[in-house]
A and B are shown apart, each in its own frame.
Chain A
Amino acid sequence: MAPATAPGAALADASPPALLVRGLSHLYRSPAGDVAALDSAALAVGAGEFVALVGPSGCGKTTLLRIAAGLLAPRPQPGDAAPTVELFGASPDAARRGRWIGLVAQEPGLLPWLTVERNVRLAAELAGVRADVPALLERVGIAEFALHHPAELSGGMRQRVALARALAHAPRLLLMDEPLGALDELSREALRLELLALWERDRVSVLFVTHSIREAVLLADRVFVMGERPGRVLAELDVALPRPRGEELVATPAFVGLESEVRAALGRRGAPA
């Protein structure tokens, strides 16, 4: 287990990482007193790397992701040094303006008045690029629902649409915030395998926020473990499992060993995967 103080140190001499976060603290203001959501959080996502961020609910994972996406400005503790948040060496705002980010959240956030096809096309239109929408829908397995509206789809289908929409403008970094979190267990397993296959073909850089240890180990090249209140990165683990990976991997000793390492880092032994 590498120390949390130097995440992504191995990448230091390469081209700028897809995401580099150092010394990131964030205070939420509240009438009852400020709440520290993040405390000197640090992590890195190398170019073409799939990185999972695991932590208990409310540990600040979503806050970190929203700051990285340029949706939230960090508000450090008074007196703290300014944090580093860089995407490919640029600021989150610059990354957003360059349309480098693809966002998938727990809620699909589809526009209910648009068809599946128009929902996906919307992202490309806003980014000002052409997109082969039928091919995108084909890739996420919902081509036959192109003309349906979101209300006619299951939760798993809607997340597929959200994924296709996030890929529509060919982003450089996918930010995924518990994308499978609202799904039932069966759709969840099916979708994470498809996500795995999809990513292993394209190798776009991914930061994948989850509270599922199994999901993190199965999908990621590297796992960062976050602790609770205030959120700080406790550990960084390399997942040296061969690719392509499949569901059969979860029964292997190596996988189970990694799972328990993550669980130990989270400090809650025996929690469900």
Chain B
Amino acid sequence: MSGEHRPADPSAARARRLSDAAALVTAAAPPVLALAVLVAVWEAWVRLGQVREYLLPPPSAVGAALVDEPGRYATAAAETAAAAAGGLVLATVAAMLLAVAMAHSRAVERALYPPALLLKLTPIVAVYPLFTIWFGFGLWPKMLVAALITFFPTLVNAVVGLRSVDPAALDLLRSLDASPPQILMRLRLPSALPYLFAALRISVPLALIGAVVAEFLSGDGGMGQLILIANGDLDTATLFAAVVVLVALGVLLTGLLAYSERRVLFWHASTGDM
């Protein structure tokens, strides 16, 4: 979809890509440099200052921990990512279904908004023991935690999005006797997409937190369990390595989201300044 409205001029497109790449390098250079300086200072400080490694390992030790057992981190990261992504999908589908009902009926909204708000105010961590009683261990209870944490922001944004249609477009569709399902599919859902993506940008990091917290509580696989074990061993290099992996996971998921947002919302003004 996104390509077809661009004027077809290959040389101009190539020039634009080149200048885009140059702009990316210019934009990325300062933070990368700052990070490199930070790592170098950290390494020097630990080595020269004789800091005990179980308090603060040097970056080289963290890197060594990662390189020693890449499979261990990959497996744990995949488990955590599956729980976070699964929970996110579950929450998004449920929130969209409920939002459609709420956007069409003030009565449904009035009835269901307070329970949804209660859900948001419930500390999900406190409910987790119940989940293990009901669902045991494995992926499901972890996914549920991630889903419950991300459900509310998605619901609120989706309801606002479904209602924020262009009144002139709505009049036009109604003047053509479009049915409510037609108005939903042709106008309301596409209009809600920018709001949905805004919610997902909040939800992606929340879902990761939910998944890791669930793994802390259950000790059942994933990055959470890896961190628990390393903590028990006072293995701070592994702890730092786990943090690095989780940050990378967050960056990856956010990047995927930004990419799909640019593809899907090519028509929306917000996609320019992602």
Contact = CB atoms under 8 A, between A and B. Distances in A.
B166 interface: yes
Interface in B243-271: 267-269
A73 interface: no
Instruction: Among B187, B267, B268, find the residue whose CB has the most chain A CB atoms closer than 10 A.
Output: B267
B236 to A, nearest CB: 50
A71 interface: yes
A36 to B, nearest CB: 23
Interface stretch (B26-34, B91-99, B175-183): B175-183
Contacts of A127: 176-177
Interface string B179-197: 0001000110010000000
B169 interface: yes
A183 interface: no
Given A148-B5, A149-B5, A122 B166 contact: no
Contact of B172 (A97, A115, A151, A165): A165
B168 interface: yes
Contacts, number: 68
Nearest to B176: A126
Contact of B267 (A66, A112, A126): A112
Given A99-B176, A101-B175, A147 B5 contact: yes
A64 B158 CA distance: 33
B166 A126 contact: no
Interface string B1-39: 000110000000000000000000000000000000000
A107 B168 contact: yes
B171 A96 contact: no
Interface string A93-113: 000110101110111111111
B5 A123 contact: no
B172 A123 contact: yes
A99 B177 contact: yes
A175 B268 CA distance: 29
A151 B168 contact: no
A97 B177 contact: yes
B173 interface: yes
B175 A71 contact: yes
Nearest to A109: B168
B174 interface: yes
A80 interface: no
A67 to B, nearest CB: 12
A140 B178 CA distance: 25
Contacts of A175: 175
Nearest to A169: B176
A107 B175 contact: no
Contacts of B166: 107, 109
Contacts of B267: 112-113, 149-151
B5 A105 contact: no
B270 to A, nearest CB: 12
Nearest to B1: A113
Contacts of B173: 126
Nearest to A107: B168
Interface of A: 66, 69-71, 96-97, 99, 101-103, 105-113, 115, 122-123, 126-127, 147-152, 165, 169, 175
Interface of B: 4-5, 166-178, 182, 186-187, 190, 267-269
18 contacts: A66-B171, A71-B171, A96-B175, A99-B177, A101-B175, A103-B175, A109-B166, A109-B170, A109-B171, A111-B187, A112-B267, A115-B4, A115-B5, A123-B172, A126-B177, A149-B5, A151-B269, A175-B175
Given A109-B168, A111-B169, A115-B5, 11 more contacts: A71-B175, A102-B175, A103-B171, A103-B175, A105-B168, A109-B170, A115-B4, A123-B172, A127-B177, A151-B269, A152-B5
Question: What 4 A-B pairs come out closest when comparing CB atoms?
Answer: A109-B168, A107-B168, A109-B169, A103-B175
